[in-house]
Amino acid sequence: MQGIEPCTSRMQYTKCSSLLHCSFVPSSSLSFPSSFSGLSLGLDLSSTIGVGRRRGSGLVVRAGKAALCLTKRNRSRKSLARTHGFRRRMRTTGGRAMLKRRRAKGRKILCTKTNPNSGKRA
């Protein structure tokens, strides 16, 4: 590739691409405080955005508004049954083969995502 030079020293690190840089830190450097500041990982922890220090505790990282979003979706049983239910499995040859394998194995519940009409979950 043209225009990209390998990084040879820590002074040139700021000029090189961070994607191509790989630094291995010897175990003796773990005693220095600079190794805990993220320099060995190529991280910049000196910025004050989202990072703060409290007295008597370690590093505190504050989450932004986007990080507090819903991380796990709670889909309704009806919408799960549309995709993974018994009737959907019966429509395709692969689905019918899957039901056949589960019957042969002796599974009591053939499709776990089926939405029963009675409201009771089997």
b/e for 40-77, b at 16 or more Cβ within 10 A? beeeeeeeeeeeeeeeeeeeeeeeeeeeeeeeeeeeee
102 pLDDT higher than 90? yes
Domains of the chain by residue range: 7-44, 75-114
Contacts of 81 (CB under 8 A, 6+ apart): 87, 88, 113, 114, 115
CATH number, domain 75-114, options 3.20.20.80, 3.40.50.720, 1.10.3720.10, 1.10.287.3980: 1.10.287.3980
The whole-number average pLDDT for the span 95-100 is 97
Q: Are 31 and 40 in contact (CB under 8 A)?
A: no
pTM more than 0.75: no
* pLDDT at 33 > cutoff 80: no
